[in-house]
Chains A and B, each alone.
Chain A
Amino acid sequence: MKNFTMILRAALMVTVIGAVGCRSMQTPAVKSYLDKSKATDVYACLAISKDYLSKVFMDPMDKLNNLETAIDAAEKARTLQPDLPEASYYLGYGMSLKGVVFRDEAKISLGMTYYKNAITKKPAMAGPGYLPPLPFMIAVIKMNSKLNRITDDHAIQLLEEAIKNSPEFAPAHFELSKIYRRQKKYELALQQARVAAELAPNEGVIQKELGLLYGNYIEDRNELVFEAAAKKGIEALKAAVKLNPKDPEIHEALGFYYGVLGMFELKAFEMDTAIGIKPTGSNSFELGNTYLAMGHIDKARTAYLQAVKTDPALTKAKGLSGYCDYLENRFDKACSEFGRYAEDQSLKELNRKLWYYYALWGNGKKPNGDEILSRFSNAFTGNDWERALLDFHLSRIDETQLLSKAKTRFEQCEALYYIGCRYRHEGDKNRAESYFRKALDTRIYSFYEYAGARILLKSLSQGSANQKDEKFLPGKS
């Protein structure tokens, strides 16, 4: 609603300042003009009609009076010059909006007929310098109405009609994009958002939406395009951040994309900036992820704890502190942390269970880990890949079978990491290192598995150089 209002006002302001030049018609000059219009000034009538129509949105408290005045002035103009398309345009516009207010479909339809006839005679009226396209206005008002809400299909129909006559009206493309996004038709949403962003390069809200839409390619783990999508998302958000530098969501999303590309310093900077503007559990959590990916475990742990403190309901942050402990070979502490959430029904992610499993293994309690996984397996509802991963840890399939099931880079990253973890706990350092390296080669920078592989590889390398770390190798403990 906030976005809509902003776009709508932006659209209206073009009209108001561009051609009429006044928001309110209550000034003495305007009153005098109104009086004059009672005589013969057809253009004054049109100006008044237009102004009052604009005022409907600027001052919704008095919308009925404003609509009535707009309609009266347009009718007066029509009486003075019946063939003037502008008069039909404003009359149709006012009638339709009044129909929307009173939920009178016949009036809406009649108004639309006037409007359509007018823009057929003078197509320029569907373009800049005039009011937003009428079908667009009807669509957005009805979409935001509690009592008179229209279906998405009806709204799409109206918005497409608006676009047909006014292809350069960015808000119509933007609203259409939002509907498609809601319907999870991301390709269509992106297509419309791109057009909107091109038409309104100065609209931070549109640029931001476009930037966020690219995130769906990453959420969907489309390995072919996710890096390109991240770059495109960054470009849109870089434009957005110039327009709205104090919008934390933009910085957060920028950080997210930089993380996808492995640009962790930039991600850290953006997340820090987002927290500086508005600290939330979510952005502290993402900052934690960033530090983890950079190998700054202490900082990551602090950020994760801060995230849970800020937002205790932030499920995804739970257990991350334990993962930090695990990666530092502090298995006791890790078990204790994972144990806190063991019975948390909201925590259904497989990776949390696997981390707990390996922490228990590291702590010499592998049978407990097996039992946890076994219980988890009984109620498991994940997808085929996750099932394969679980089966591997329950020794139902071997590593070759697991790797053969890993079809994407995302799955390969996870498979390689967890195979490496198994070898690590089995004390086969060389194989563990080899698999961690392969996991890093997948360049799935945003995965905990990637961060884990990086940290553990470093830890194993340092362990080779420094014998005192040997004791942390589970096989030798």
Chain B
Amino acid sequence: MRLHLYRMVLILILILGMGAGKAAAQENTLFIIPDASGLIQSVKEKGRSSETGALILRSQKQLTVEKNGTIELKSYVCGMIFDDRAASDYSQISLYYNGYFEEIELDFARSIQGNGERLDASRDAIQTRSVSQMGQAKMYTDMKSLAFSIPALGQGAGFEFMVTRKIRPIVGQSWARTLDFNFVLYHSGPVPRVDPVREARLTVIAPTEEKLKYYQRNSSVPPEIKRVKEGLVYTWEMEDIPKLVYEINMPVDDTLLPGVELSSIGDWRDIDQWAHALFSPSIDSSGPILKTALEITKGITDRKGKIKAVFEYIQKNIEYIAADLDRGGYAPHPASQILKNKYGDCKDQTVLFVSMLGALGIEAYPAILNTYPRMEHRLDIPSPYFNHAISYIPNVDGDLWLDTVATIQFPGLLWNSQGRSAFVINGRGGGFKKTPSSGAESNEGEVNFYIKVSGETLSMELDLLAKGAMGDTFKNSLKALEQNQRKAMAQDLLKKMYPSCEIEKVTFSDFSDPNASFKISVRCRIPYAIPSNSRMLNLPFSSMASITFYSTLAGLTPPVDRKADYVMGFVYDIKSQWTYDMTESGFASINLPEAEVMDSEFLRFERQFKEEGRTLRATSKLTLKTTKIPLAKYADFYESTLEILQKSQKTLSFQKREMDHTALALETSLKDKPDDVSSLVALAKQYLKNGKYGEANVLLTKALVLNPDHGESHYFLGIALGHDYKMEEAQKEFETASRLGFIP
């Protein structure tokens, strides 16, 4: 009996023990859903701790790696709403995913009202949408969004939702993923919303044999690692994560958010192998590809000329259409199909380009990269996530990097692909190479403003010119506009400066032509601008107009409000040339401002004024020297920018002068007889009367070279010297004049 009892106890212990072991294992691997009501209640008890409109109380993600490389990712978010704006923003949540590789399921979504009542998302307010159907772009992709609405979300209400994704591996049976601690809400506003998080937890459960690489971004707390039956459990936790403030020209938001970049991919050779396997079957240098390549390069003997011909052929004939449905977005179409269809996306156009160059015996490779402002890859975390493909051609005047998709001139890269790390796919392990960057002088924006005063009318000719990255940016952004929209934009630009001006003509260069420079020309006039009896005319010189048009420098946030580094896409020059033509008016400039140069670590500004007859030319040049201003130096940058902006505007004064006919006649006479002493002296006397003492001195000195015994010249040279208080020299001249018999 005692034995029986003992056995009973033993069995019970065993059973309980087994149960306890199972519970312990589940604690480590089960995704435990927090008690949302409790979280919300704790906020009510502690009082509102967030100054933002919403607070994420708990963000929790758990990634579980399965044997075949498939991963399951569960995400749970619980938050609380404090204002109407947040209520509106969070009332619909959209989660993006690649439908080819991923499946997504909404486990639940609900609001938790102040009285504790839970209202679940309605089935008819949950939808899967195709991204390509949402816009007008010529795009057929697997990118989708799961959208759902949280009901009755208002101030004081909480919400929670959970989704589960199943993600197939992209590269063999390996996977790569980045997990953020924050919840990034994509809503209808211009930038996402990233509210503060009170508690966040990221968990990765991976088989023990998985060679997991990870990099903690903006988080220094190491993971807690536990061994469980399923493998290793990595847990990262963070508390009180601040909100992310979106600012103009901030760094990529991914680089600012705390998170963990994960990868099980061996190294970058695996990426090369994977990408090469996708690209190489599509590259074909025979048949119609060869025929076309030979046709379009007929008569061209040099290598670079042939490359240019192929580049321009694709740029002109292959339309950008991303037809990638049910393909996952990584595999290009066969070159022959692209040539036949006359369309393709970036990887398709790259395949065709590489194929055609191959047909001509020119070595070329596809290269993949993330364009600015997407985040660059870390070398220690291999990943297949790139967003653009271009072509790399080695050993042609150095290396050539070409992108047939953009409306740019050969040979060139659009600014957002410049200076980036591109992964060259060659099937031999591949490798990163830095794409070239252009200097400030190559990326130039210019405003030429010609102002002519005739009677009471101001006639103006405004030319906006841009080249390099600056021109590409404007061409690519404006080419989508209709002619009348462009015209309205140009008119608006001038009307802002001169509301009363009458626009006569607006012309544009062809923004779709890669070889045409960016140019907008506006001709206009302001009648009755200058009262006929006006003696003074003040006209502005403003580099500000060009700086405002071509850059964001005029709208910098004060340093006290700036939170992040200030980042720009490319370095540039902005030039202004304002010409004031007074030849048909009685006005002449008075007291020209001095030339000025300002040079700082980040910017250089120079300004000068030059007068040629009755035409005054004011020019300025602003050079942005670097694309990144660290936050620590932002105040200096701000101050130097403000100083430049202040100096970028100057009022130029013109005075209506009665024509000095005597001086004009003498000047004309001197042109015919430059060595006539009496004319030189007569003009010098006139200059002395007009206060032009220096000019008079020059003429009289010349007269005395021609005739050293000319008493009158000595006398008036004495007058000119006297005006400069050179009294001893002046006295000598007076005495010489007297000795020579000159009596004034």
What residues of chain A have their CB less than 8 Å away from a CB belonging to chain B?
6, 9-10, 13-14, 16-18, 20-30, 33, 43-44, 47, 51, 58, 128, 201-202, 204, 231, 238-239, 241-243, 245-246, 251, 258, 263, 265-266, 268-269, 273, 276
Contact = CB atoms under 8 A, between A and B. Distances in A.
Contact of B540 (A6, A18, A238, A269): A18
A17 B539 contact: yes
Interface in B480-509: 496-502
Nearest to B501: A21
B34 interface: no
Most buried by B among A22, A30, A238: A22
Given A21-B529, A22-B526, A23-B529, A29 B502 contact: yes
A54 B534 CA distance: 14
A18 B651 contact: yes
B688 interface: yes
Nearest to B657: A245
A256 to B, nearest CB: 15
B734 interface: yes
A268 B744 contact: yes
A18 B528 CA distance: 15
A25 B527 CA distance: 10
Given A23-B531, A47-B499, A202-B590, A17 B540 contact: yes
Interface stretch (B53-61, B630-638, B722-730): B722-730
Contacts of B727: 263
Given A17-B537, A20-B499, A245-B691, A266 B530 contact: no
Contact of B653 (A58, A128, A202): A202
Most buried by A among B497, B537, B655, B689: B689
Given A22-B528, A33-B499, A265 B730 contact: yes
Contacts of B537: 13, 17
Nearest to A243: B590
A51 B535 contact: no
A29 B458 CA distance: 14
A-B pairs, top 4 by smallest CB distance, nearest first, are: A22-B500, A21-B498, A241-B691, A245-B690
B458 A21 contact: yes
Given A22-B529, A242-B690, A265-B734, 18 more contacts: A13-B538, A14-B651, A17-B529, A18-B539, A18-B651, A22-B501, A27-B502, A29-B500, A30-B500, A47-B499, A202-B590, A238-B723, A239-B591, A245-B691, A265-B718, A266-B722, A266-B723, A273-B689
B690 A241 contact: yes
19 contacts: A13-B534, A17-B539, A17-B540, A20-B499, A22-B498, A23-B456, A23-B528, A23-B531, A27-B528, A30-B499, A44-B499, A58-B531, A202-B653, A242-B591, A242-B692, A265-B718, A265-B719, A266-B719, A269-B719
Contacts of A17: 458, 529-530, 537-540
Contacts of A246: 658
B715 interface: yes
A367 B722 CA distance: 47
A20 B539 CA distance: 11
A241 B692 CA distance: 9
Contacts of B730: 263, 265
Contacts of B693: 238
B498 A20 contact: yes
A231 B530 CA distance: 38
A41 B526 CA distance: 21
B536 interface: yes
A201 B730 CA distance: 28
Interface in B513-555: 526-531, 534-540
A21 B499 contact: yes
Contacts of B499: 20-22, 30, 33, 43-44, 47
Contacts of A266: 719, 722-723
A265 B723 CA distance: 11
Classify the interface of chain A: helix, strand, loop or mixed. Answer: helix
B531 A243 contact: no
Nearest to A28: B502
Contacts of B715: 265
Contacts of A13: 534, 536-538
A73 B529 CA distance: 21
A266 to B, nearest CB: 4
B545 to A, nearest CB: 12
Interface string B672-703: 00000000000000001111110000000000
Interface residues of B, number: 45
B285 to A, nearest CB: 60
Nearest to A266: B722
Interface in B263-284: none
Contacts of B534: 9, 13
A434 to B, nearest CB: 25
A21 B526 contact: yes
A10 B691 contact: no
A6 B33 CA distance: 80
A51 B692 contact: no
Contacts of A258: 722
A246 B536 CA distance: 16
B536 A6 contact: yes
Nearest to A246: B658
Contacts of A33: 499-500
A202 B591 contact: yes
B712 to A, nearest CB: 12
A57 to B, nearest CB: 10
A204 B653 CA distance: 12
Nearest to A276: B689
B498 to A, nearest CB: 3
A28 B502 CA distance: 9
B502 A128 contact: no
A25 B529 CA distance: 10
A33 B526 CA distance: 14
Nearest to B502: A29
Interface string B86-118: 000000000000000000000000000000000
Interface in B694-744: 715, 718-719, 722-723, 725, 727, 730, 734, 744
Contacts of B528: 22-24, 26-27
A75 B715 CA distance: 67
Nearest to A33: B499
A69 to B, nearest CB: 14
Contacts of B655: 202, 204, 243
A267 B134 CA distance: 85
Nearest to B724: A238
Contacts of B456: 23
Nearest to B727: A263
Contacts of B498: 20-22
Most buried by B among A10, A13, A204, A242: A13
Contacts of A16: 529
A27 B496 CA distance: 17
A33 B492 CA distance: 13
A23 B530 contact: yes
A26 B690 CA distance: 39
Nearest to B500: A22
Contacts of B538: 10, 13-14, 17-18
